Amino acid sequence: MERESLLTVLMILLGGVALQLIGAWLSTYRRSKPGCEPERAAWLRLWRPLLPALLVAAWLCGWALSQPDPVPDRVGPLVFIVCAPFVLIIIRALLRAGWSLLRSPEPFGIATIGLIRPRIVMVPELARRLDERAILAALAHERAHVRHLDPLRIWIAQFITDLQWPWASARGRFETWLAALEHARDDEARAQGIEGADLAAALVASIRFHRAGSVGPCATLIGDRSALEARIARLLQPLPGTIKDRTPTMLQVALLLTMALMVAVALGEIYGERLVVGPLLAVS
Ligand SMILES: [Zn+2]
């Protein structure tokens, strides 16, 4: 059998099993209250369930490096049957990601749209209903979304959440991150001199332009509707002081992940055939 074909099948099988097991395990924990953790911590928590699947994939890549091409092994029908649900989950996630890009945008008051080159769009009627200070506040919030490429990050976050379907805990982590994202952009706007009350006024006025439900891969002023009440109350309080964020930086995470993946590749090259692939193919 062609080595890369067998590698792909094994990645889907073992990566899918790892993702589902971690999804089941994390579902036993209560979801955290939206907006209670820093945005970066919530973003990393969104990705954490993918770590075992990535390590498994790296292990298998290490195994493939030690094998001839084509490999003498072949997989039995049982492996393809077990793989089928994982393939369907991947196809569903891809279709949803594609559909969210193709469908026409839903009505909104003000939002940041565009994955690669985000831009701010605002309904003229909303601008007429807001005073100048509220418009500046709404624009400052959206400019923060533009700076961080948030529409693209929302689209990616939705995709990795869909890869963890059907576990509700994945959806909970996604919503927690969305709430933390809006708090972070509110704080960024206020740190530039915007009054929380002006931002709250813009937020309340723009609600009437949104229908309930998702608005696709765009960052809106409203954000997660379930956390609106707490967010408005927060905006009417003085800006929280700077709290030392102990979350690892993206550079630290990238370095640790690279090291872990390299170790997994090395271990896969040495032990892959003996410990996992050989016994797996023998029983299939
Ligand atoms: Zn927003």
pLDDT in tens, 181-237: 999 999 999 999 999 999 999 998 888 766 544 456 677 777 767 678 888 888 998
**What DSSP state is assigned to residue 72?**
S
Question: How far does the centroid of ligand 1 lie from the alpha carbon of residue 142, in Å?
Answer: 6
Question: How far does the centroid of ligand 1 lie from the alpha carbon of residue 49, in Å?
Answer: 26
Question: How far does the centroid of ligand 1 lie from the alpha carbon of residue 28, in Å?
Answer: 30
Question: How far does the centroid of ligand 1 lie from the alpha carbon of residue 155, in Å?
Answer: 14
* pTM attached to this predicted model: 0.86
Question: How far does the centroid of ligand 1 lie from the alpha carbon of residue 253, in Å?
Answer: 26
Both tokens of residue 161? Answer: 């959440």
pLDDT for 216 equals: 61
Question: How far does the centroid of ligand 1 lie from the alpha carbon of residue 45, in Å?
Answer: 20
Sheet holding 219-220, edge to edge: 119-122, 110-113, 219-220
Q: Which residues of the chain have pLDDT under 50?
A: 34, 212-214
**What is the distance between the alpha carbons of residues 64 and 269, in angstroms, rounded to a whole number?**
7
Question: How far does the centroid of ligand 1 lie from the alpha carbon of residue 239, in Å?
Answer: 17
pLDDT for 55 equals: 95
pLDDT for 57 equals: 95
**What is the distance between the alpha carbons of residues 214 and 271, in angstroms, rounded to a whole number?**
46
Range list of β-strands (E), the chain: 110-113, 119-122, 219-220
* Bridge partners, 122 (sequence order): 110
pLDDT for 275 equals: 78
